[in-house]
Structure formats: C-alpha cells, structure tokens
Structure 1
Amino acid sequence: MAISYSWTHNFSADALKTLFLSVDWESGNYPEKVQQAMLNSHRVYSVWNGNELVGLINSMTDTVLTVYFQYLLVHPDYQGHGLGKNLIKGMLEEYKDIPRKILISVETKVGFYENCGFTHHMDKAPMFVSTL
C-alpha cells in the first residue's frame, strides 16, 4: 500500500460515490452534492492509496468556539489499519485551539470515537431533519 494523506477539497464525483457507497451511505447516491459539500467544508483531510481515495474526514466550524466533524469514512478494504484514527488525529491537531469538537456517531461506532478522545454524552441527543 502506498498510503498518503492530503488536505484537499477537490475530489471527483466518481471517487466520492465509490467511497461513500463502499460504506453503504445513502449520500453516495448524490455524488455531485457530496462533491459540493466537500468544496463548502472548512477543511477536508483525506487518505489515498496511490490515486484511489480510500477515506476522508471533513469539518465545519465557526473558527472560534466550535468545530463539527460531519463525515468520517474509510473504505472497508482499508479499515482496521489506523487510517480513521490518523484522520481524526490530523483534524484534532488542526483544530487544537478550538475548545468544542463535535460529531455524531452511530451507536456501533461510539467505542471507536471514545478511543480517539471523544466523550459519549448520554444526556444529549442528536436531532435531525433529513430528506436522505
């Protein structure tokens, strides 16, 4: 594996579609919208195997108090090798001066995020209005 990391907002719609659908995310069916979402993100940190996009994390922030990590995904063929942890580590370093870092996790992945330093707050609930 020729793994490398990159700070970029520019991805082809096809690369995003392949990555998002590899983890069964519905948004992969809207690759042009995902592409625009990456362009509109504050930062995007991605991981590559050569020219193949195999993972990414993006952020939205007010640049002062709060940063929200919206997407973190790693292609299943590359999971279990620390790539996701490295993506989070890069983002946490990038936003080390911002005191509140937020993400929403599916219940089965809470342990992963706790191992990365996040705290599961049982007294808070994510809320959504979504058409996806």
Structure 2
Amino acid sequence: MNAIEVRNLKKSFGELQAVAGVKFVAEQGEILSLLGPNGAGKSTTISMLSGLLAPNEGDAFIMGHSIRSAPQAAKAGLGIVPQDIALYPDLSARENLDFWGKMYGLRGAALKDRVDEVLDIIGLRDRQKDAVGKFSGGMKR
C-alpha cells in the first residue's frame, strides 16, 4: 500500500487555479517534500491533504483512506511539520497536544492515550508539564 497517493488534485479560488492536477505517490518509509517557487501550490496541496481545504477535483489517499470519503481516517495517517510552528508558547507540551488532538476529534481516553503515545515517541514525557515557549526550535518541531 502507498503511504500517500495523490490523483489529479485541483483547487481554484475564483479565477485563480492554485493547484492544477497534481499527481504523485509516496511509498511507506519515504520522506516527501514539495519544492517550488512562491505561488506554485505547495501549501494548498498540503492543506488539501490535511483536510484544511477541500479539492475542487481529484482525490488523495493517505494509508489507503480517501481525503474525500474518509477524511478522519486519512488525517490519522498523516503527520505534517509546518514552516511556522503552530504551538501555544504559554501552554505545556501536554496542553498543546490535548488541544490539537481535540481539533482532530479525539476525546476522553482516546485523547489521553494518543497524547501519552506522542509524548513517548518524541521523547518529551519528562517535559510534558513545561511551557513549550521554553523549548528549543528542534524540540518544538
């Protein structure tokens, strides 16, 4: 199974065609980056893959799940490191993860379990109560 398969994604904003039929495949274990000049549609493509924007045409599959017909399942298989760090500096690592988990629809025990898992994966379990504003740039990412 492909980790990501993008099939003819298109996105327009009025007369402006931001993404014109993007197609690519990323296999499991590969690292993917999108390169191009300003205005090439990189951020718009990522926004469609992550569910922030709906494509006008086409579809994409994250771990086999369609961003159109199964967006929650697709989002669960995707991790993105944005250019601008989307953290609240006055909140702790756990509070930030709780917030973003809730944004993705997690609640209760599922939220707690996922936050614990992520804290272990990123090696910050012992710093979970510290405000992220005190973290280095690498720790924030």
Question: TM-score normalized by structure 1?
Answer: 0.29
Select the structure of larger CA radius of gyration.
Answer: 2
Question: TM-score normalized by structure 2?
Answer: 0.27
